Amino acid sequence: MAGLILILGGARSGKSSYAEKLAAEMGRRVLYIATAEARDEEMAARIEIHRQTRPEHWRTLEASSDVGRALLALDEHPQVLLLDCLTLLVSNILLAQEAEPEAVIEMTVHKEIEALIAAQSDLDIPLIIVSNEVGLGLVPPYPLGRVYRDILGRANQHLAAEASKVIFMVAGLPMTVKEEG
């Protein structure tokens, strides 16, 4: 099976730039999986900046959920998958299921990750996943924020266990946390 690479870090740590550089080094046919939803003007501006920085020959799949299913439905297979980012994918699930108990939300996130890993395995191509490490800061002052932090932290642990390589970004510098073979 081709490798799964997880790139973690805080906000503005250089995660996306590093992931894009890594993907470009792995192959020309990159599929960029964008999970952000433009819920406000600031997020729309961020999305546009990301669009402008990606190479024109990369394909983009905008998928705010059910990413694994969307990947298996592709009619043309890329050489590399780059998902940016798990943080927003988990947020999308949480906001869609906000009224549900934490265990239900977490199970949905778990199923999403398992479907993504299964799709990557079926396609047998490298998958780079970008995610924020949100557990290093203050404890969120409201329940939804704490649920989000906890679910994302466990999702990151799940992916790190599956990944062949884990990178932690600090101030634009990559630190290898895990590397197999």
Listed by start position, the domains of the chain span 4-179
Angle (CA) 77-31-45 rounded to 5° is 155
Q: What is the mean pLDDT of the chain?
A: 93
* CB of 55 closer than 8 Å to CB of 21: no
Q: Is the pLDDT of residue 143 over 60?
A: yes
How many angstroms separate the most distant Cα atoms in the chain? 45
Q: Which two tokens stand for residue 61?
A: 């799949």
**Catalytic hit among 50, 57, 110, 158:** 50
Beta strands in the chain (DSSP E): 4-9, 30-34, 59-62, 80-84, 127-132, 165-170, 173-179
Helices of type H across 54-142: 67-72, 86-96, 102-123
Residue 101, classified by CB atoms within 10 Å of its CB into exposed (0-12), middle (13-18) or buried (19+), is exposed
Q: Is the pLDDT of residue 92 over 70?
A: yes
Please name the CATH architecture into which domain 4-179 falls: 3-Layer(aba) Sandwich (3.40)
Q: Which tens digit of pLDDT belongs to each residue from 23-76?
A: 999 988 999 999 988 788 887 888 788 788 888 899 999 999 999 999 999 988
Q: Is 66 left (phi over 0), alpha (psi -120 to 50) or beta?
A: left
pLDDT at 1: 47
Please state the pTM of the whole predicted model. Answer: 0.93
| Catalytic annotation present for 50 | yes
Q: Is the pLDDT of residue 20 over 60?
A: yes
